[in-house]
Structure 1
């Protein structure tokens, strides 16, 4: 049995696996954001300890029944439980395995917890400017999970749309070459709920993607820029007779215009007109990203990886197997 810990900015997931099969899961709305607010990590520590205890109790497990505890994500930041330095890209699977930091945290378990490091594009100890700089903690194992599940043995980009969308470049040896981050999901939330457009958008997202409106929003941003394109949401509602799902899709097109620009322009992603893009996750942001990539780059394969669950846990266990911590 393997326990995985995935801590992000606002949430933590503690799961129990038997091989690759998830047996149990505890989710909590606690993350490193709470550490930042409180000035200490006690709440995060207590939350993870309670989750591990709950899983053991529910499954009637003792300490010796657990083969390993593996952790990834923001838990390895200075706001987490154990700060682990980022590895500098390019980072191979061996590099991840050889740089796992293990520590016993008695409040959680008498066994060591194995913390997997994140990745940064450049050496920040010798930083002349932030040009080319990007960082991630957690998305690296999600990208590796997709690489493992889809047997990726060629240059590719792994897209992970979300509040903070990540785009991860990988080579034929599954080495991570670099990444880039956007605020796509967060921008969508702010614009939908906290601007003059909130009324037009009814302060809610849509579950129905309108392809024509998505493309229209993208093209509007291409022609006129982000700010003017945004105001066109209100114009379309007031004078264009557009329905809610069309307006919300139009907004996604505007926001994702800059994501597409980031994918193609970021040097560390090594994008070419032939680079396949694998999109991890489910939902309208993933669907919209896939649609616009396929429309703008018909020569690039765009693969939606909707059948891979527990990406962080699967990637963490992939690294742990490479490090021979689990079989």
Structure 2
């Protein structure tokens, strides 16, 4: 049995070909909801998805009739995606993700059903959001599948625990998982903020994005200055480091990582104190560099957590693993107990 899964974001889309539970092939294209937003129509997105679909089928000697189902998650359920589909309210299980899928018939390019997997939100259906209560609202599109992919890799002990999962990126989301159930989200700006500050402010001449090395002491210094002096002053100190020739490029970039990502960790610490009081474990699911930053920062907190870092890339995508779990729970893929 062959299935197709699209993991589509703001700027990029990956398509995965699966045979039963095995990931057979993957292809990628620089197309996403941003292109639809710019064009004022989702035609460019649909055309790009269909090109990916045709390419991966051709590469594997398959035709459309041999594909059992086409599934998609991420920004494809946003207003500039394939079809806008409301977020699913927490708490969320794998079974709930499967049963709440929205089936959309795409009649222009695919001429077949596409099963859209909903994103997640932290407010109940019917909750009226206003400018005074907006702080309780968090949401994501796509990362919810990664969460269940991450959980599928864990030992039973970790699955039964009270865990915060860090998902660093342009937006860093932190997900609270309690005994395998997705309960809450803390959404923040991080990677996008780092990029904007390091490329579009006076700090651009002080920070080099090409530097990969990390200075642990400077990450900590950035975090401590954030705590002591506030964001505005901590950022200016990065500028002063260059003016007074008090640091090199590696040190300044590491410092800025501590300031920006330190803000995420402070938000996490406050949330644990207020709401997630049972959290005692942290999973960081990211590339090795940014994961190291969070490992350093989390150890600076007064409250200590057991930390597990998971790195996935290419065919070992957390999203694919989560998608497979969804199909299993929905009975599309047979599990051991149904044999």
Could you say which TM-score interval applies, normalised by the shorter chain? over 0.9
Q: What's the counterpart of residue 184 of structure 1?
A: 190
Provide closer, same or farther for how the CA distance between residues 297 and 30 of structure 1 changes in structure 2, counting only shifts above 3 A: farther
Match among 301, 313, 316 for residue 320 of structure 2 = 313
Alignment CA distance shift 1:96-1:218 (3 Å): same
Query: How many angstroms apart in 2 are the aligned matches of 1:72 and 1:139?
Result: 9
**CA offsets, 1:185-237, max 9 Å, x none?**
011101111111111114x2421111000000000000000011001112122
Q: Which moved more, 1:109-118 or 1:226-235?
A: 109-118
Q: Deviations over 1:255-277 (max 9, x none)?
A: 11210122122379943475211
Is residue 104–residue 113 contact of structure 1 (8 Å, CA) maintained in 2? yes
Q: Which residue of 1 aligns with 2:297?
A: 292
**Does the 8 A contact of 1:49 with 1:107 survive in 2?**
no
CA distance in 1, matches of 2:299, 2:275: 18
Q: 5+ residue gaps in structure 1?
A: none
Return the offset for 1:108: 4.8
Q: Identify if the C-alpha distance between structure 1 residues 268 and 229 changes in structure 2 by more than 3 Å, giving closer, same or farther.
A: closer
Alignment of 1:94-243 (within 5 A): 94-123=95-124, 125-128=126-129, 129-151=133-155, 152-172=159-179, 174-202=180-208, 204-243=209-248
Q: Does 1:302 align with 2:307?
A: yes
The count of residues paired between Structure 1 and Structure 2 equals 325
CA RMSD of aligned residues (A): 2.1
Distance 1:58 1:149 in 2: 29
User: What SS class does the counterpart of residue 225 from structure 1 fall into?
Assistant: helix
CA pair 105-267 structure 1, distance change in 2 beyond 3 A: farther
Tell me how far apart the structure 1 counterparts of residues 328 and 103 of structure 2 sit (CA, whole Å).
15
Deviations 1:131-158 (A, max 9, x none): 3111111010011110111142221111
SS in 1 for 2:83: coil
Structure 1 counterpart of 2:46: 45
Offset of residue 240 of structure 1 = 4.7
Change (3 A) 1:16 1:305: same
Alpha-carbon separation, structure 2, partners of 1:122 and 1:249:
36
Q: How far is 1:38 from its partner?
A: 1.1
Aligned counterparts of 2:29 and 2:44: Cα–Cα separation in 1: 11
Rounded Cα–Cα distance in structure 1 between residues aligned with 2:257 and 2:71? 36
Q: Sort the Cα spacing of 1:282 and 1:66 in 2 relative to 1 into closer, same or farther, 3 A.
A: same
Whether the 8 Å contact between 1:188 and 1:255 is mirrored in structure 2 is: yes
SS at match of 1:64: helix
Work out the CA distance in 2 between the residues paired with 1:73 and 1:254.
29
SS in 1 for 2:52: helix
Contact kept, 8 Å, 1:169 with 1:270, in 2: the verdict is no
Q: Distance in 1 between matches of 2:72 and 2:273?
A: 26
TM-score when normalising by structure 1: 0.93
